[in-house]
Structure 1
Amino acid sequence: MRERIWFEMVDAKLKSIYCGLYLAKQRTINKWFNIIIVVFSTSGVLGWSFWKDLPFATSIIIMIMSIVKLLGTELIPNDNTFKKIEKSIDLYCDYYNKLENLWYEFDNDKIDNDKAQRKFYLIVAGEKDISKIINEVIKTKNSSFQDKAEIECNKYFDNIFNLNSNG
């Protein structure tokens, strides 16, 4: 049971870190999307004399910008998406803390295997709610984020639990 708790705890931390990386990337995408829309909308680029002889091209550009702006909420992350990711990070932090507490209790022989198992499955049942939020927001896994999250997670556990010094 000890290893099962440990691996679930590591997985919870990994998912929390992954969500944090995902959130940062989505905010960057949103920022650049908004900058591009503002630049095209306010700069008057399409009013330059260069475009005078290309009315069809300017019409297409305006049409594309209008469609992108309308579909932006579907294509580009928004405040609702950010709130859901932030909530999932908070929930994963709580989930991790419960697992860590259980791991310490079990590792220090404060509870027996049966009690640890019952508590473990009560805690794990709560991840279902987090998964619903995550599946709604994150459609595909990003291997680059996964690699970065694994590195950060390993650093965290190495620092907190002194894994390198314990062998």
Structure 2
Amino acid sequence: MRERIWYEMVDAKYKSIYCGIFLSRQRIINKWFNVFILAFSTSGVIGWPFWKGFPFATSIIIMIMSLVKLLGTELVPNDNTFKKAEKAIDMYCDYFNTLENLWYEFDRENINETKAMKKFYAIVSKEKDISKIVNEIIKSKKLAFQNKAEMECDNYFNNIFNTNNNG
């Protein structure tokens, strides 16, 4: 049971870190999208004399920019995505802390294996609520995010527990 609690705890920390990396990247994408739209909208590019001979092209550009701005909420992360990601991170932090507390209780033999098992499965049953949120916002996992999250998670456990993720 000790190892099961440990590995669930490591997994919770990893998922929390992954969601944090995901959120950070989504904010960067959102920022650059808004900068692009703002720069294009306010630069007056369409008003340049060059475009006088191409009214059809300017109409298409204006239409595309309008569509991009309208569809931006679907294509580019927005406040709703940020709030859900922040909520998932908070929930994973609470989940991790609860598991860590159980791990310490069991490791110090403050509770027996039967009580630890009951507590463990009661705690783990709550992860499905977090997973629902995460599955709404993260459509596909990125290997670069996974590698970075794994490295940060390993560093965390090595620094806090002076171990190599084996409890």
Q: TM-score, normalised by structure 1?
A: 0.96
| Letter matched to residue 134 of structure 1 | V
Once the two structures are TM-superposed, the CA of residue 138 in structure 1 deviates from its matched residue by: 0.7
Number of residue pairs matched by the alignment: 166
- Residue 72 of structure 2 corresponds to 72
The secondary structure found in structure 2 opposite 1:153 is helix
Match of 1:122 in 2: 122
SS in 1 for 2:141: coil
Between the aligned partners of 2:122 and 2:11, the Cα distance in structure 1 is 17
Give, as a single letter, the amino acid of the residue that structure 2 aligns with 1:53.
G
- SS of alignment partner, residue 15 of structure 2: helix
Q: Are 1:157 and 2:151 matched, yes or no?
A: no
- Name stretches of at least 5 consecutive residues in structure 1 with no aligned partner: none
What residue ranges of structure 2 are gaps of 5+ in the alignment?
Answer: none
Question: 1:21-60, aligned counterparts within 5 Å?
Answer: 21-60=21-60
Q: Which amino acid aligns with 1:122?
A: A
Identity rate, percent: 73
Q: Deviations over 1:94-127 (max 9, x none)?
A: 0000000000111111111100000000000000
Determine the structure 2 residue equivalent to 1:95.
95
Q: Which letter maps to 2:57?
A: A
Hey, what's the Cα distance between the residues in 2 that align with 1:7 and 1:88?
A: 19
Could you say what secondary structure the match of 1:163 adopts?
Answer: coil
- After superposing on structure 2, the runs of 4+ consecutive aligned residues of structure 1 that deviate more than 4 Å are none
Distance 2:6 2:66 in 1: 51
After TM superposition, give the deviation of residue 56 of structure 1 in Å. 2.0
Rounded to whole Å, the distance in 2 between the matches of 1:56 and 1:26 is 34
Where does residue 63 of structure 1 map in the other structure?
Answer: 63
Q: 1:145 maps to what in 2?
A: 145
- Per mean C-alpha deviation after superposition, the further-off stretch among 88-97 and 56-65 is 56-65
Residues in 1 aligned to 2:150 and 2:91: alpha-carbon distance in whole angstroms:
19
**TM-score, length-normalised on structure 2?**
0.96
Cα offsets for 1:43-65 (capped at 9, x unmatched) = 10111111112222211111111
Paired letter, 1:148: K
State the superposition RMSD in angstroms.
1.3
Q: Distance in 2 between matches of 1:157 and 1:121?
A: 23
